[in-house]
Structure 1
Amino acid sequence: MSVLKETYRLSNDVAIPQLGLGTWFIDDDRAAEAVRTAVEIGYRNIDTAQAYGNERGVGEGIRTSGVDRGQLFVSTKLAAEIKDYDGAVAAISGSLETMGLDYVDLFLIHAPQPWEDFRGGDYAEGNQQAWRALEEAYRAGKARAIGVSNFLKEDLDRIIDGGTITPHVNQLLVHAGNTPVDLIDYCTSRSILVQGYSPIAHGEILDNADVTAMAEKYGVSVPQLCIRYALQLGTQPLPKTANPEHMRTNAQLDFVISEADMAVLKDLHAQDYGDSSVFPVYSGK
Structure 2
Amino acid sequence: MTTIPTVKLNNGVEIPQLGFGVFQVPDGETATSVSAALEAGYRSIDTAAIYGNETGVGRALAASGIARAELFVTTKLWNADQGYDATLRAFDASLAKLGLDHLDLYLIHWPTPARDLYLDSWKAIEKLVADGRIRAAGVSNFQPAHLQRLLDSSELAPAVSQIELHPGLQQSELRAFHTDHGIATEAWSPLAQGSVLKDEAITTIADRHGKSPAQVVLRWHLQLGNIVIPKSVTPVRIRENLDVFDFTLTGDEMTAIAATDRDLRTGPHPDQFN
Structure 2 SS opposite 1:194: strand
Q: Measured at CA, do residues 225 and 281 of structure 1 come closer, stay the same or move farther in structure 2, by a change above 3 Å?
A: farther
- For each residue in 1:119-176, what CA deviation from the matched residue of structure 2 results, as whole angstroms up to 9, or x when unmatched? xx4444x111000111111111211100000111110011111112000000011111
Structure 2 residue runs of 5 or longer lacking an equivalent are none
Query: Do the aligned partners of 1:35 and 1:65 also contact (CA within 8 Å) in 2?
Result: no
Counterpart position of 2:130: 139
Q: Measured at CA, do residues 188 and 272 of structure 1 come closer, stay the same or move farther in structure 2, by a change above 3 Å?
A: closer
Q: Which amino acid aligns with 1:92?
A: F
Structure 1 residue runs of 5 or longer lacking an equivalent are 114-120
Counterpart position of 1:265: 257
- Relative to the length of structure 2, the TM-score reads 0.94
Query: Do the aligned partners of 1:177 and 1:267 also contact (CA within 8 Å) in 2?
Result: no
Q: Distance in 2 between matches of 1:77 and 1:9?
A: 20
Counterpart position of 1:256: 248
Q: Distance in 1 between matches of 2:141 and 2:224?
A: 18
Deviation of 1:252 after TM superposition, in Å, equals 1.0
Counterpart position of 2:33: 34
Query: Do the aligned partners of 2:84 and 2:124 also contact (CA within 8 Å) in 1?
Result: yes
Query: Do the aligned partners of 2:103 and 2:133 also contact (CA within 8 Å) in 1?
Result: yes
Q: Distance in 2 between matches of 1:188 and 1:63?
A: 36
Q: Which amino acid aligns with 1:102?
A: D
Query: Do the aligned partners of 1:76 and 1:106 also contact (CA within 8 Å) in 2?
Result: yes
Q: Distance in 2 between matches of 1:8 and 1:17?
A: 6
Q: Which sits farther off after the overlay, 72-81 or 213-222? A: 213-222
Deviation of 1:86 after TM superposition, in Å, equals 1.1
Q: Distance in 2 between matches of 1:69 and 1:164?
A: 29
Within the candidate set 177, 191, 213, 1:186 is matched to 177
State percent identity of aligned pairs: 36
Counterpart position of 1:162: 153
Query: Do the aligned partners of 2:6 and 2:14 also contact (CA within 8 Å) in 1?
Result: yes
Q: Does 1:243 align with 2:231?
A: no
- Relative to the length of structure 1, the TM-score reads 0.90
Structure 1 SS opposite 2:7: strand
- For each residue in 1:63-95, what CA deviation from the matched residue of structure 2 results, as whole angstroms up to 9, or x when unmatched? 111111110000000002333111111101110
Q: Measured at CA, do residues 100 and 136 of structure 1 come closer, stay the same or move farther in structure 2, by a change above 3 Å?
A: same
Counterpart position of 1:116: none
Q: Distance in 2 between matches of 1:53 and 1:252?
A: 29
Counterpart position of 2:118: 127
Q: Which amino acid aligns with 2:268?
A: P
Structure 2 SS opposite 1:171: strand
Would you say how many aligned residue pairs link Structure 1 and Structure 2? 272
Deviation of 1:284 after TM superposition, in Å, equals 6.7
Q: Within 5 Å, which residues of 2 pair with 1:201-220?
A: 201-220=192-211
RMSD of aligned C-alpha atoms? Answer: 1.8
Q: Which sits farther off after the overlay, 42-51 or 206-215? A: 206-215
Q: Does 1:280 align with 2:268?
A: yes
Query: Do the aligned partners of 1:41 and 1:248 also contact (CA within 8 Å) in 2?
Result: yes
- For each residue in 1:19-41, what CA deviation from the matched residue of structure 2 results, as whole angstroms up to 9, or x when unmatched? 00010011101111111111111
Query: Do the aligned partners of 1:173 and 1:281 also contact (CA within 8 Å) in 2?
Result: no
**Which has more helix, going by share of residues?**
1
Q: Which sits farther off after the overlay, 172-181 or 103-112? A: 172-181
Q: Which amino acid aligns with 1:257?
A: L
Q: Distance in 2 between matches of 1:135 and 1:283?
A: 24
Counterpart position of 2:92: 93
Query: Do the aligned partners of 2:77 and 2:91 also contact (CA within 8 Å) in 1?
Result: yes
- List structure 1 segments (4+ residues) > 6 angstroms apart after TM superposition: none
Structure 2 SS opposite 1:93: helix
Q: Does 1:83 align with 2:82?
A: yes
Query: Do the aligned partners of 2:79 and 2:109 also contact (CA within 8 Å) in 1?
Result: yes
Q: Distance in 2 between matches of 1:208 and 1:200?
A: 11
Counterpart position of 1:108: 107
Q: Distance in 1 between matches of 2:33 and 2:85?
A: 33
